[in-house]
Amino acid sequence: MYIWKSLTTNQIKERIFSALQKNVDYKERTILGVPASHLDEKVFNRDMGFLEDAPFLSSMVYNPNHIGCHTMGESEAFFAGTQEIEKELIEIVAVDILKAEPNQCDGYVASGGTEANIQAMWIYRNYFKKEFGAKHDEVAILCSDDSHYSMPKAANILNIPLISAAVDDNTRLVDPVKLQVQLKEAKENGVKHVIVIVNMMTTMFGSVDRIETYTEALKECGLDYKVHVDGAYGGFVYPFSDDKSDLLLDNPEVNSVTLDAHKMVQAPFGTGIFIIRKEWMQYATTEEAQYVEGMDATVIGSRSGANAISIWMILMTYGPHGWFEKIHILNYRTSWLCEQLDELGVEYYRHPASNLVTMRAAHIPADIAHKYGIVPDSHNDNPKWYKIVVMGHVTVDHLLPFIEDLKKIKQ
């Protein structure tokens, strides 16, 4: 049973405009106390006729502030109408995509995957400090060599150590034997609590971690841990392309998840999504945020409500079945590409449920990579890998000339 159902364009329009009406209208009511307003009307005239048919652009012009987290406690009453839409979005993502039980999660629309990951690590660091009196060098982040750079960034901001697990060069899986050694060493250095970041599709390879590689090694070492899943890339792909996934919230080991709507969902930038089980956001509450109704438990502070609306509109336009079909079409094209590469003898990595193909650079001349906008693992002089991301705009007709160019070189 889904809460998520596809809606018609008119239904979507009605819903957004009625939500905007429940927000404060600075023109209709005298609002003296907030440092916020609609967009500057000398520049962004809101009487433009087409805005009536453009719910997203209208939301931009009305400019609601979704400061704080709306799935719990109190929120700013001025923007209650559009906050409802964000709440519904968070519940759809938690329940219909990540398989949580209804009403068991909190979450919000973050500026991106980086912020959502930092939010998770911030919460767990504070949890280990508050509940166990842990010192900073006793709490470590554990991720893999293929993890996104937001993990070292977070280690730097949060002032805690980072353990990067070695991966196999062919399978991109974390090496369990090396991990044991790394964890023993960390324990000897005083680490007691571990924030585990499990990849649900990595940025460069689309590879997916085995959660039990981490959890078994940590249990064996006697280290306390909490698990966050980084689905910034894969959150809107993998749950639809692999129905045996154990990286979702129906697995009690998983406590929180990041997704990015500005990647595969093609939403505007500023649409990361953070989802966490209930009772955990409190570890990030800033008590000093007294002027914000309900206070603030997010990294970001003020943020645009239009971003949440854009994600909600896209998901409602497709519905769960439409989204499933979209992902499977992308994966079909990816399989087509892999068959061509097999015939050409080009070595590559592809996770069977992913729309990302990462080729060994030795097979791809730099001029061809440049011609087709194929991205290297490193912008230095000798990259090891080049990746193709099969997005909506990357059709078989677009892939064909690339394959033909490779064929010519081979001859």
Q: At what angle do helices 9-22 and 55-62 cross, to 10 degrees?
A: 10
DSSP string across 84-143: HHHHHHHHIIIIIIT-PPTT-EEEEEESSHHHHHHHHHHHHHHHHHHHH---GGGEEEEE
Number of residues that bind ligand PLP (CB under 6 A): 13
In 10 A of CB 328, how many CB atoms?
13
If you search the block for the tokens 């007691």, which residue do you land on? 192
Nearer to ligand PLP, 117 or 241 (CB): 117
Q: Which stretch binds ligand PLP (CB under 6 A): 230-238, 295-303, 321-329, 352-360?
A: 230-238
In the complex, what is the shortest distance from the CB of residue 118 to ligand PLP, in angstroms, rounded to a whole number? 9
Nearer to ligand PLP, 78 or 386 (CB): 386
* CA gap 108, 71 in Å, rounded: 8
Q: Are 66 and 109 in contact (CB under 8 A)?
A: yes
By CB under 6 A, tell whether 203 contacts ligand PLP: yes
By CB under 6 A, tell whether 239 contacts ligand PLP: no
Please, what's the b/e burial string for 209-236 (b: 16 or more CB within 10 A of its CB; e: otherwise)? bebebbbebbeebebbbbbbbbbbbbbb
Q: Are 109 and 271 in contact (CB under 8 A)?
A: yes
By CB under 6 A, tell whether 260 contacts ligand PLP: yes
Q: Which stretch binds ligand PLP (CB under 6 A): 176-184, 226-234, 298-306, 333-341?
A: 226-234
Q: Which stretch binds ligand PLP (CB under 6 A): 176-184, 225-233, 308-316, 359-367?
A: 225-233
Cα distances (angstroms) measured from residue 136 to each of 159, 191, 312: 7, 9, 38
Q: Are 140 and 163 in contact (CB under 8 A)?
A: yes
Residue nearest to ligand PLP (CB): 113
* CA gap 246, 239 in Å, rounded: 10
In the complex, what is the shortest distance from the CB of residue 202 to ligand PLP, in angstroms, rounded to a whole number? 6
By CB under 6 A, tell whether 285 contacts ligand PLP: no
Nearer to ligand PLP, 258 or 285 (CB): 258
Residues 88-117: x where in contact with ligand PLP by CB under 6 A, - otherwise, as a string = ------------------------xxx--x
By CB under 6 A, tell whether 148 contacts ligand PLP: yes
Handedness of CA 402, 406, 407, 411 (dihedral sign): positive
Nearer to ligand PLP, 23 or 114 (CB): 114
Options 91, 106, 230, 296; binder of ligand PLP; rule CB under 6 A: 230
By CB under 6 A, tell whether 119 contacts ligand PLP: no
By CB under 6 A, tell whether 272 contacts ligand PLP: yes
Q: Are 357 and 338 in contact (CB under 8 A)?
A: yes
Options 233, 238, 280, 349; binder of ligand PLP; rule CB under 6 A: 233
Q: Are 361 and 388 in contact (CB under 8 A)?
A: no
Options 75, 119, 202, 245; binder of ligand PLP; rule CB under 6 A: 202
In the complex, what is the shortest distance from the CB of residue 360 to ligand PLP, in angstroms, rounded to a whole number? 21
Cα distances (angstroms) measured from residue 271 to each of 158, 201, 207: 23, 18, 23
Options 23, 63, 150, 245; binder of ligand PLP; rule CB under 6 A: 150
Binding site for ligand PLP (CB under 6 A): 112-114, 117, 148, 150, 202-203, 230, 232-233, 260, 272
